[in-house]
Every structure is written in structure tokens, then in C-alpha cells.
């Protein structure tokens, strides 16, 4: 039976989100086994029993971080994804088909949104957590993949298929989609190399604008075999 929460837990003082933010930070740096519940509570500045009250146990908190990540990503680029999926539904049910020009424009917009997100410091802790899950997938990865990555990849894959004039479910289109997404993600996971190579001390508004401009060039390079980008 769950122990009644203490006064500081029962208050609507953001305890749950404090724990999620602390967990996202620590789990991303040290992994699940490398973080104690005491350390989580200390960083969050909450009572230790709050973990069990809100999440059941440490594993429950770890999985909840995945759900929190999905929520944050939905806030940041969910509207664009919703627009893309809505446009696909319209085309599928008798509306105007998505042509190459529109597909390229939509892909560029999505790419710019992702690059803008990756340029921000907030995304650093998100990516650390997700990279750990890529290396050693757990139930948390299943949540992230099903809740966000799969729908996003499906949308991007259909757009890439239009540009390649190929079946979006084909191996070639899937690989080209992953190649495109990987080319965007490198601007977050390869931050140290990018700063060194570009001779930047930090990524500010000027640097972010430069990074955003790459999205259109990456998308412009996707075209059917035998054709060159114009």
C-alpha cells in the first residue's frame, strides 16, 4: 500500500516535474545503474519518498522520463508533425496530391525545426538520455520510438519517397530517410567537433541561423537515381 505523502509531496509545488528534470539530467549522464534514488531526490530538492509516491520506484521514474521527453518534443515540433500527417491524410482521401515541390518544402521546414531544436542547450540533456537508450535499449526506448520517433520517421519517409519517386516502404527509402535524420542529429551529438571545426566558441543566434540553412541543402540532395540536384 502506498504510504501517504508528506506535506511537501502533497503540495502542488512541481515536485513531479522537478524529479523528471533531475532524472533526465542524471540518467543521461550516468545511466540507470549509475544513479541512486537519494541523488535524484537531492538534485530535485525533494523528499526521497516522492519517487515512490509519484513513480512507484526508480525504474518507474526512468520510464516516465521517456514520456516526459515525448511531451517536450511534441510541444517543440509536434505542430509541424501534425501538419504533415494532416496533409498526408488529405492527399490520401481524395485531396490534392503532394508533389515534389511541396514534399521538398515540407521536409525543409521539418529539418529547420529539428536543427533549431538541436542548437539549443535544452536539447543536450534530452539527447544524452536518448543516446544511452540507442546503445542499450530498454522499455523507455520503446516508448520514445512508438510515441514520437516512429510517427516522425514515417512522415519523413513518405516525403523522401516522393522525392525519390520510390516506394516509401522500400529499403532504399528507409535508409535515405535515416541518412537525412542522422545528418540533422549530428548537429547535436557532434557539438564539440562542430564548435572546433567551425571555430565557434558557442552556438548563438548567428550560428543557429547558419545551421538552419543547411536543412534546405540536405533536402535538395534527395532526388531520383540518375538525376542531379538543380
Among 188, 209, 192, 189, residue whose Cα is nearest residue 200: 192
Q: What are the grid coordinates assigned to 40, written together? A: 535524484
Is the confidence at residue 174, as pLDDT, over 50?
A: yes
Q: Which residue has the higher pLDDT, 40 or 125?
A: 40
| Contact between 229 and 104 (Cβ < 8 Å) | no
Is the confidence at residue 4, as pLDDT, over 60?
A: no
Q: Which residues contact 153 (CB under 8 A, 6 or more apart)?
A: 177, 178, 181
Q: What is the pLDDT of residue 9?
A: 40
Tens digits of residue pLDDT in 210-230: 999 999 999 999 999 755 554
Map grid coordinates 541518412 to a residue.
Answer: 179
Q: Look up residue 5 and give its DSSP letter.
A: P
Tens digits of residue pLDDT in 23-81: 999 999 999 999 999 999 999 999 999 999 999 999 999 999 999 998 888 887 767 77
Q: What are the grid coordinates assigned to 78, written together? A: 509536434
Q: What is the pLDDT of residue 22?
A: 96
Integer Cα distance of 83 and 92 in angstroms: 14
Q: How far apart are the first and last CA of the chain?
A: 66
Amino acid at each position: 500500500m502506498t504510504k501517504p505523502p508528506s506535506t511537501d509531496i502533497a503540495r502542488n509545488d512541481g515536485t513531479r516535474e522537478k524529479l523528471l528534470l533531475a532524472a533526465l539530467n542524471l540518467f543521461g549522464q550516468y545511466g540507470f545503474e549509475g544513479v541512486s534514488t537519494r541523488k535524484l531526490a537531492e538534485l530535485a530538492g525533494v523528499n526521497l519518498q516522492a519517487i515512490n509516491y509519484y513513480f512507484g520506484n526508480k525504474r518507474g521514474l526512468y520510464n516516465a522520463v521517456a514520456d516526459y521527453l515525448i511531451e517536450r518534443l511534441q510541444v517543440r515540433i509536434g505542430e509541424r508533425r501534425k501538419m504533415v500527417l494532416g496533409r498526408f491524410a488529405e492527399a490520401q482521401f481524395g485531396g490534392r496530391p503532394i508533389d515534389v515541390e511541396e514534399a521538398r518544402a515540407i521536409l525543409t521546414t521539418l529539418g529547420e525545426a529539428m536543427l533549431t531544436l538541436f542548437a539549443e542547450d535544452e536539447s543536450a540533456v534530452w539527447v544524452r538520455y536518448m543516446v544511452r537508450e540507442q546503445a542499450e535499449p530498454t522499455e523507455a526506448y520503446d516508448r520514445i520510438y512508438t510515441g514520437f520517433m516512429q510517427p516522425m520517421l514515417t512522415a519523413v519517409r513518405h516525403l523522401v519517397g516522393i522525392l525519390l519517386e520510390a516506394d516509401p516502404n522500400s529499403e532504399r527509402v528507409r535508409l535515405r530517410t535515416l541518412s537525412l535524420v542522422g545528418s540533422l542529429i549530428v548537429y547535436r551529438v557532434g557539438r564539440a567537433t562542430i564548435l572546433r571545426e567551425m571555430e565557434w566558441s558557442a552556438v548563438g543566434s548567428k550560428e543557429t541561423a547558419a545551421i538552419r540553412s543547411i536543412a534546405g541543402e540536405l533536402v535538395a540532395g534527395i532526388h531520383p537515381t540518375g538525376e542531379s540536384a538543380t
